[in-house]
């Protein structure tokens, strides 16, 4: 087998952890010549977007991704003149965005040998948008490269998928995750291992738990709400929904501050008015995306965190403590877990997961949250 990523500078994909198959496919594409379209797919939080921009840098850099030149730097920040990001406008990627992409892709590259289109949350393309995109994929301009990113590839048109080289990402293995937390953040082995268990293969969540006090506080909040839920009355459940909404608000504010910082930094690099306007445009798109992503990640965290609590209660009730995820809460789990409630715990987990789709399609987050909490409570009765 070809060595992982081969001659491509391994620092190029340095932010991607424990994904040897994906990095082999992308590394070989950079060395041996690339197809027109790639689909990076797999669960959220495992490094697909970072990999997409690193791959774009490899496609735009004259040295195939040296990691040091100005092409690489700008591509990885998403502001290269020959790189466009397409992301949902609201909840979908619309046909007008694809029409714009098609017109744009017909133009020659400005600085690099190619033009690269990173399409985030590609599964949110509306049907007309997906059909229009399919036409572009059927006869792509020779210099155009499309990098689709999706955590729900089953929702993409099969004809779009079949025209892309698939690049699979998986949940980051706990061992690789723990090793990464140890080497990058200097965590002690047992702490790194505990966090890897809590994060359940979600690299971004594991990293956030490591370096962000507020993310650790959010986890405590979600676990304490889940713990309180069985005995909470109607008004208290509504209060819980308020607390979660406040948490989502804090996450959005933190995401906005982070994007603004990066924008300020990129503005300092921008040489002229045209470069500055590109930075403005790229960061407008990114700001919208990051706000949505902050809410989505917060909701995912509430669903998986509260379902995870009842999962651990079920595990303790079934006498399998060694497989508990929230190991730092073992004493509380022993106190709360009742063997007679095993089937109710499983019902609660199912109820929490059923609400996932509701969040995707319902614009009223608070209403969906209340619905989730009440359905979980009902499952316990
Ligand atoms: Zn370079």
Q: pLDDT digits over 257-296, tens only?
A: 999 998 998 888 888 898 899 889 888 888 988 898 888 8
* Å from CA of 74 to ligand 1 middle: 10
Is pLDDT above 60 for 2?
no
* Å from CA of 149 to ligand 1 middle: 22
At 3-16, the pLDDT tens digits run 444 446 678 998 89
**Token pair in block for residue 271:** 């040489």
Residues of the chain above pLDDT 70, percent = 97
User: Which secondary structure element, helix H or strand E, spans residue 292, and what is its range?
Assistant: helix 273-317
Is pLDDT above 60 for 21?
yes
Apex 232 CA angle, 230 and 235, nearest 5: 150
**Token pair in block for residue 301:** 């965290």
| Res 4: pLDDT | 45
Mean pLDDT, the chain, as a whole number? 91
* Å from CA of 53 to ligand 1 middle: 13
* Å from CA of 75 to ligand 1 middle: 9
Q: Measured between alpha carbons, how far apart are the two ends of the chain, in Å?
A: 55
At 45-104, the pLDDT tens digits run 899 999 999 999 999 999 999 999 999 999 998 889 999 999 988 789 999 999 999 999
| Res 6: pLDDT | 46
| Res 8: pLDDT | 60
* Å from CA of 72 to ligand 1 middle: 4
**Number of other CB atoms surrounding residue 78 within 10 Å:** 22
Is pLDDT above 90 for 316?
yes
* Å from CA of 353 to ligand 1 middle: 43
Apex 85 CA angle, 20 and 156, nearest 5: 65
Q: Is the pTM of this model over 0.75?
A: yes
CA distance 196 to 177: 6
Is pLDDT above 90 for 254?
yes
CA distance 343 to 264: 53
| Res 96: pLDDT | 96
* Å from CA of 217 to ligand 1 middle: 39
At 117-172, the pLDDT tens digits run 999 999 999 999 999 999 999 999 999 999 999 999 999 999 999 999 999 999 99
Domains annotated for the chain, with CATH where assigned, are: 10-168 (3.40.50.300), 174-205 (no CATH), 212-380 (no CATH)
| Res 363: pLDDT | 67
């Amino acid at each position: 087998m070809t060595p992982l990523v081969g001659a491509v500078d391994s620092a190029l994909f340095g932010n991607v952890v424990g994904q040897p198959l994906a990095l082999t496919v992308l590394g070989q594409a950079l060395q041996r010549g690339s197809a027109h379209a790639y689909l990076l797919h797999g669960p959220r939080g495992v490094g697909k977007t970072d990999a997409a921009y690193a791959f774009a840098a490899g496609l735009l850099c004259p040295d195939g991704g040296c990691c040091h030149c100005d092409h690489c730097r700008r591509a990885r920040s998403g502001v290269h003149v020959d790189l466009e990001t397409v992301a949902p406008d609201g909840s979908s990627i619309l046909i007008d965005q694809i029409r714009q992409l098609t017109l744009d892709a017909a133009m020659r590259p400005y600085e690099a040998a190619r033009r690269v289109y990173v399409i985030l949350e590609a599964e949110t393309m509306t049907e007309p948008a997906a059909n229009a995109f399919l036409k572009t994929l059927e006869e792509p301009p020779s210099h155009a490269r499309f990098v689709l990113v999706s955590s729900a590839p089953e929702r993409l048109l099969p004809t779009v998928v079949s025209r892309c080289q698939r690049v699979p990402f998986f949940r980051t293995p706990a061992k690789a995750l723990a090793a990464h937390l140890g080497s990058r953040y200097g965590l002690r082995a047992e702490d790194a291992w505990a966090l890897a268990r809590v994060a359940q293969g979600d690299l971004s969540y594991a990293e956030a738990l490591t370096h962000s006090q507020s993310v650790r506080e959010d986890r405590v909040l979600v676990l304490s709400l889940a713990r309180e839920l069985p005995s909470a009355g109607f008004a208290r459940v509504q209060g819980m929904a308020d607390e979660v909404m406040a948490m989502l608000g804090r996450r959005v504010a933190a995401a906005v501050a982070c994007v603004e910082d990066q924008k300020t930094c990129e503005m300092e690099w921008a040489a002229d008015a045209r470069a500055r306007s590109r930075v403005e445009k790229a960061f407008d798109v990114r700001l919208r995306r990051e706000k949505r992503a902050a809410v989505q990640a917060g909701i995912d965290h509430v669903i998986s965190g509260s379902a995870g609590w009842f999962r651990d209660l079920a595990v303790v009730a079934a006498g399998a403590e060694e497989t508990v995820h929230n190991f730092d809460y073992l004493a509380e789990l022993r106190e709360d877990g009742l063997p007679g409630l095993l089937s109710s715990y499983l019902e609660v987990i199912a109820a929490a997961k059923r609400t996932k789709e509701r969040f995707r399609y319902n614009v009223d987050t608070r209403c969906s949250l209340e619905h989730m909490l009440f359905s979980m409570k009902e499952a316990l009765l």
